[in-house]
A and B are shown apart, each in its own frame.
Chain A
Amino acid sequence: MKWNNYVSLSEKFRNQRVFDGCGISGFINLDGKRENGDQIIDMLSILSERENGLGAGFAGYGIYPRYKECYAIHLLIEDEQSKEHLIRYLDEIGNIIQSEPIPTKIPSNVDNPPITWRIFYEPRHKKSISDDEQVVKLVMNLNDHFNGVFVISSGKNMGVFKGNGWSHEIAEFYNIKDYKAYMWLAHSRFPTNTPGWWGGAHPFNLLGTSVVHNGEITSYGTNMRYLESFGYKCTLLTDTEVIAYLIDLLIRKHKIPVPIATMALAPPLFSTIEAMEPRYQIALKNIRATYRSAMLNGPFSVIVGLSCPKPTLVGLSDRKKLRPLVAAISENKNSIFLSSEEASFKRLKLKEAFNFKKIWQPKSGTAIIAQVGEGLLRNGMETPFEKINLTVEGDI
């Protein structure tokens, strides 16, 4: 592991976008049962071809049932002084319910480890602005203006653990094994151009949305400028940050149903749309027109964890499927797995004698959506409005 650059990139690499190839994995238990980190560590660490020791991370949903009403703010902090400063600030503007270190195993020869900290936080309720919005503003503000601290996640009853190292090292460092979650996401990377920094590893998170991503977004500038109109600050210069904010905008702010939001991010081709019936054409053309700047271009596959409106796992690849994404369902049909490689599933099979009912490759640009309590809503093989009963109000 690299014991430096915790909260920002070193000076000479600032203002450079990070490009990388990545391994991504994730799973969800549809009954909401929580599972320790063993499986996700196995799924990810087998994808070693896709990492070079410069960054990995995990996100677990359901890990803090005791504080499930609070925003769990996960932080990387450079020094004690920054930490004290931050705690004083949060105390002033909101309520700190609990403030504690995130337990880590620091190798004995390391003398400048980061401070890994978590604060269970409640903003003061205001009429003019929702709690969620207050926390979004807080995160943007801390990451932009507070020296020496970096917020790596801010959702309720969930948390992100990430750093600059091999996936197995990061898992070890944070004791990922010991957390129990109903949904896990994981990521390892092969960055091409920077030595990486801790906060720059994936998953990227904002409130309940976490994203792990493999690929390169060629529409970055378009997406970034669009998000800035809505007050997001894209300071991390990574594609993944932009994806996380777009999802936040579409699903949390604009309240677009998840399957429809995925059609804005990776819309069907016009030739497909034009062969559809009128109400679908109206919907899809207007989605493309309205959200033309939210469309993600370039090679990507992403796995997204959402805690709102319900705990959901989403997998999506670009319209040409230039990055891999494989899905699997467990024998008992209770767990949905996603990975950039089938090797993840084989590992579980061999190591834990885990049985799958089916392994399949979702279609390009077609979302796979699994929700706690609702099951596998979309398997990534459907046509755009299959299984959806769409009505269009007003005249067609």
Chain B
Amino acid sequence: MSLNHSIPSYFHIKVDREICRKCKRCTNHCSYDALSFNGERIVSDDSKCVACQRCVAMCPAGAIRIEKNDSFLPFHGNYTRRIRNIIWAQSGNGGVLLSATGNDRPIRTIFDDLLLDACQVTNPSIDPLREPIETKIFFGRKPKKIVFSEDPKKLNNISLKTEFMPNFEIDSPIMVGHMSLGSISYNACMAIYQAAKELNILAGSGEGGLHQDFYEYGPNIITEIASGRFGVDINYLQNAAGIEIKIGQGAKPGHGGHLPGEKVNTLISQTRMIPKGSDALSPYPHHDIYSIEDLAQLISALKEATRYKVPIGVKIAAVHNSAPIAVGIVRGGADFLTIDGFRGGTGAAPRIIRDHAGIPIELAIAVVDKRLREENLRDEVTLVAGGSIRYSADLIKAIALGADVGMCCMPVLIAMGCRVCQQCFRGLCSWGIATQQEYLVKRLDIDVSRNRIINLFHSWNEELKEVLGAMGIDSVESLRSNRDRLRYIGPNPKIADILGVKHAGE
């Protein structure tokens, strides 16, 4: 008999058979086949469990608990369980390991090492319930200056000469990141777009095109042009709040995309404009962009195509030399620039890249903002930053470091029910989010999900106002790049230096 090299599971499914009613709901709901009924009782297979918690949520008797299975591996501080699991998995299947969501390594989060300032005595704080505090911002390119002419004879005759570039007004500095139909379900997309419209914020289309049903939300959607050019036609371009050329993604800088043919059902094939059942491969680079001039050409082509009515932007992953790249992109004509940090999410990415490539968004915002200022370009563009903005505190700190808009995905998924099991790439999401299987998608209630997203961002916006009020600021514009209102409390003063933030106590 050959040796069983199966990988020890992280989880243990504990079914309390005393109270189990044998209703079999859990077995129906488990999309990973970890639970079954053997005619007598519920049996569990720990090796298949991903701790997505669907069974726990669905069990009417409260009979299931997922426990951590950590009792048996000999301890080793260097060959951690994680490393051993990776080796076992690779020696078993001989392939590149896939993963989803964002980097799960316990690397220190810089946002957590930043503290916020508040008013005392010399400047009064503002109560957002009594006084207006403004969170509206303009998305798009601004001129460096506005030209007015004054009639020298009649001073009060003033004319405004500047022609303005398209700008889209949003009510909070928040954007739901790009998650394509394909990476997430129709219901999830619909809930996100409806919420974005209701909140008047932005949401990304991802690179999968825009399904016909989503066109009515176009005015709040940033459509994406990625290397596969899926779903791109003139309606897709003109029907948007903005168009983003995706060069890179924080979770997988330098990597493309691959939607396997089995996920390309009728819905996806229509939206992506590719035959049913065919693989949707997004090349690693754009094969018409091998240099910055090529990118500039694509930007102007898109501007021409949209008659200069839609802001055109570029998304890059945060990497070592993001700052000079950002300058090139802005010089190349981009109206907005999106930077996605190394913790950014993904529906599927090689684990090696997700976990090891890129730099933290906090540092990227600081260096890009600084470099754009040195080149006197900063105020002309909108800077969108994402890559693990988890809650309002991160959003606020990202803005104070220099971002105009904070972009996030995971909080939206979590709001809809995601339990961060990191299995999105398998397309079996038991919550109906990261899946295309009809019976799973049905589980996601659009109305409930929409309302939960609305609640979430409504509370972020209220918390943003609370913080602004405590800082004595009545408009979010005055927080942006106001690094003086941040202090660093982490262990590495070099980080504070790069962020341009003083240490707490200074």
Q: Do A and B bind each other?
A: yes
Contact across chains for B150 and A286 when beta carbons are under 8 A apart: no
What residues of chain A lie closer than 8 Å to B159, measured between beta carbons? 390-393
The residue that B379 contacts in the complex, of A215, A229, A271, with Cβ under 8 A, is: A229
Contact across chains for A295 and B478 when beta carbons are under 8 A apart: yes
Per-residue A-contact encoding for B465-493, CB less than 8 Å = 1, 0 else: 00000011111011111111100000000
What residues of chain A lie closer than 8 Å to B158, measured between beta carbons? 257, 260, 388-391
What residues of chain B lie closer than 8 Å to A20, measured between beta carbons? 122
Q: How far is the CA of A260 from the CA of B143 in the complex (A)?
A: 16
Per-residue A-contact encoding for B130-150, CB less than 8 Å = 1, 0 else: 011010111000111111101
Contact across chains for A287 and B146 when beta carbons are under 8 A apart: yes
User: Which bucket holds chain A's interface residue count?
Assistant: 35 or more
Contact across chains for A320 and B126 when beta carbons are under 8 A apart: yes
The residue that B481 contacts in the complex, of A15, A225, A288, with Cβ under 8 A, is: A225
Whether B161 sits at the interface, judged by CB under 8 Å, is: yes
Q: How far is the CA of A261 from the CA of B362 in the complex (A)?
A: 33
What residues of chain B lie closer than 8 Å to A35, measured between beta carbons? none
* Shortest Cβ distance from residue A263 to the other chain B in the assembled complex, whole angstroms: 11
Contact across chains for A298 and B150 when beta carbons are under 8 A apart: no
Contact across chains for B477 and A216 when beta carbons are under 8 A apart: no
The answer to whether residues A320 and B161 also contact, given A221-B483, A255-B148, A257-B148 and a CB cut-off of 8 A, is: no
What residues of chain A lie closer than 8 Å to B145, measured between beta carbons? 253-254, 256, 290
Q: How far is the CA of A35 from the CA of B148 in the complex (A)?
A: 34
Contact across chains for B376 and A221 when beta carbons are under 8 A apart: no
Contact across chains for A392 and B160 when beta carbons are under 8 A apart: yes
Whether A97 sits at the interface, judged by CB under 8 Å, is: no
Contact across chains for A222 and B156 when beta carbons are under 8 A apart: no
* Shortest Cβ distance from residue A63 to the other chain B in the assembled complex, whole angstroms: 26
Whether B96 sits at the interface, judged by CB under 8 Å, is: no
Q: Looking at chain B's contact residues, is the secondary structure mostly helix, strand, loop, or mixed?
A: loop
Q: How far is the CA of A319 from the CA of B481 in the complex (A)?
A: 21
* Shortest Cβ distance from residue A140 to the other chain B in the assembled complex, whole angstroms: 16
What residues of chain A lie closer than 8 Å to B475, measured between beta carbons? 295, 297
Q: How far is the CA of A217 from the CA of B167 in the complex (A)?
A: 28
Closest A residue, CB atoms, query B163? A394
What residues of chain A lie closer than 8 Å to B142, measured between beta carbons? 286, 289-290, 292
Contact across chains for B379 and A293 when beta carbons are under 8 A apart: yes
Q: How far is the CA of A221 from the CA of B117 in the complex (A)?
A: 12
Closest A residue, CB atoms, query B380? A290
Closest B residue, CB atoms, query A319? B474
Q: How far is the CA of A74 from the CA of B295 in the complex (A)?
A: 52
Contact across chains for A387 and B160 when beta carbons are under 8 A apart: no
Closest B residue, CB atoms, query A292? B477
The answer to whether residues A216 and B155 also contact, given A299-B472, A391-B160 and a CB cut-off of 8 A, is: no
Closest B residue, CB atoms, query A222? B482
Whether A377 sits at the interface, judged by CB under 8 Å, is: yes
Contact across chains for A218 and B119 when beta carbons are under 8 A apart: yes
Whether A1 sits at the interface, judged by CB under 8 Å, is: no
Whether B124 sits at the interface, judged by CB under 8 Å, is: yes
Closest B residue, CB atoms, query A395? B163
Which among B131, B156, B473, B478 has the highest number of chain A CB atoms within 10 Å? Answer: B478
What residues of chain B lie closer than 8 Å to A388, measured between beta carbons? 156, 158
Contact across chains for B143 and A298 when beta carbons are under 8 A apart: no
Q: How far is the CA of A282 from the CA of B160 in the complex (A)?
A: 10
What residues of chain B lie closer than 8 Å to A390, measured between beta carbons? 158-160
Whether A192 sits at the interface, judged by CB under 8 Å, is: yes
* Shortest Cβ distance from residue B225 to the other chain A in the assembled complex, whole angstroms: 25
* Shortest Cβ distance from residue B48 to the other chain A in the assembled complex, whole angstroms: 52
* Shortest Cβ distance from residue A23 to the other chain B in the assembled complex, whole angstroms: 15
What residues of chain B lie closer than 8 Å to A319, measured between beta carbons? 474
The residue that A387 contacts in the complex, of B156, B163, B379, with Cβ under 8 A, is: B156
Closest A residue, CB atoms, query B126? A320
Whether A67 sits at the interface, judged by CB under 8 Å, is: no
Contact across chains for A298 and B472 when beta carbons are under 8 A apart: yes
Whether B38 sits at the interface, judged by CB under 8 Å, is: no
Contact across chains for B376 and A222 when beta carbons are under 8 A apart: no
Contact across chains for B148 and A293 when beta carbons are under 8 A apart: no
Contact across chains for A297 and B148 when beta carbons are under 8 A apart: no
* Shortest Cβ distance from residue A145 to the other chain B in the assembled complex, whole angstroms: 19
Closest B residue, CB atoms, query A193? B122
Contact across chains for A288 and B473 when beta carbons are under 8 A apart: no
The answer to whether residues A222 and B480 also contact, given A229-B379, A270-B136 and a CB cut-off of 8 A, is: yes
What residues of chain B lie closer than 8 Å to A270, measured between beta carbons? 134, 136
Closest A residue, CB atoms, query B164? A286
The answer to whether residues A192 and B122 also contact, given A298-B473, A389-B158 and a CB cut-off of 8 A, is: yes
Q: How far is the CA of A389 from the CA of B160 in the complex (A)?
A: 11
Q: How far is the CA of A389 from the CA of B153 in the complex (A)?
A: 13
Q: How far is the CA of A141 from the CA of B65 in the complex (A)?
A: 70
What residues of chain A lie closer than 8 Å to B146, measured between beta carbons? 254, 256, 286-287, 290-291
The residue that B167 contacts in the complex, of A19, A289, A377, with Cβ under 8 A, is: A289
What residues of chain B lie closer than 8 Å to A394, measured between beta carbons? 163
Whether A27 sits at the interface, judged by CB under 8 Å, is: no
* Shortest Cβ distance from residue A367 to the other chain B in the assembled complex, whole angstroms: 14
Enumerate B97-127 residues with CB–CB distance to A below 8 Å. 119, 121-124, 126
What residues of chain B lie closer than 8 Å to A226, measured between beta carbons? 373, 378-379, 481
The residue that A293 contacts in the complex, of B137, B162, B471, B477, with Cβ under 8 A, is: B477
Per-residue B-contact encoding for A194-238, CB less than 8 Å = 1, 0 else: 000000000000000000000110111110111011100000000
Contact across chains for B379 and A292 when beta carbons are under 8 A apart: yes
Whether A283 sits at the interface, judged by CB under 8 Å, is: yes
Whether A322 sits at the interface, judged by CB under 8 Å, is: yes
* Shortest Cβ distance from residue A22 to the other chain B in the assembled complex, whole angstroms: 11
Whether B6 sits at the interface, judged by CB under 8 Å, is: no
Q: How far is the CA of A23 from the CA of B486 in the complex (A)?
A: 30
Enumerate A3-33 residues with CB–CB distance to B below 8 Å. 15, 17, 19-21
The answer to whether residues A216 and B123 also contact, given A388-B156, A391-B159 and a CB cut-off of 8 A, is: yes
* Shortest Cβ distance from residue A109 to the other chain B in the assembled complex, whole angstroms: 34
Contact across chains for B148 and A389 when beta carbons are under 8 A apart: no
Contact across chains for A322 and B124 when beta carbons are under 8 A apart: yes
Residues of A within 8 A of B (CB): 15, 17, 19-21, 192, 215-216, 218-222, 224-226, 228-230, 253-257, 260, 269-271, 282-283, 285-293, 295-299, 319-320, 322, 374, 377, 387-394
List of 6 A-B pairs having minimum Cβ-Cβ separation, nearest first: A219-B478, A221-B484, A221-B482, A297-B478, A289-B138, A292-B477
Pairs across A and B, CB under 8 Å, 19 listed: A220-B484, A221-B481, A222-B478, A256-B145, A257-B158, A269-B134, A270-B136, A286-B162, A289-B142, A289-B167, A290-B144, A290-B145, A292-B379, A293-B379, A297-B473, A298-B472, A299-B472, A389-B157, A391-B159
Q: Given A269-B132, A389-B158, list of 12 further CB < 8 A pairs?
A: A215-B123, A219-B479, A221-B483, A228-B373, A260-B148, A286-B160, A290-B142, A290-B145, A297-B473, A297-B475, A390-B158, A394-B163
Residues of B within 8 A of A (CB): 119, 121-124, 126, 131-132, 134, 136-138, 142-148, 150, 154-164, 167, 169, 369, 373-374, 376, 378-379, 471-475, 477-485, 506
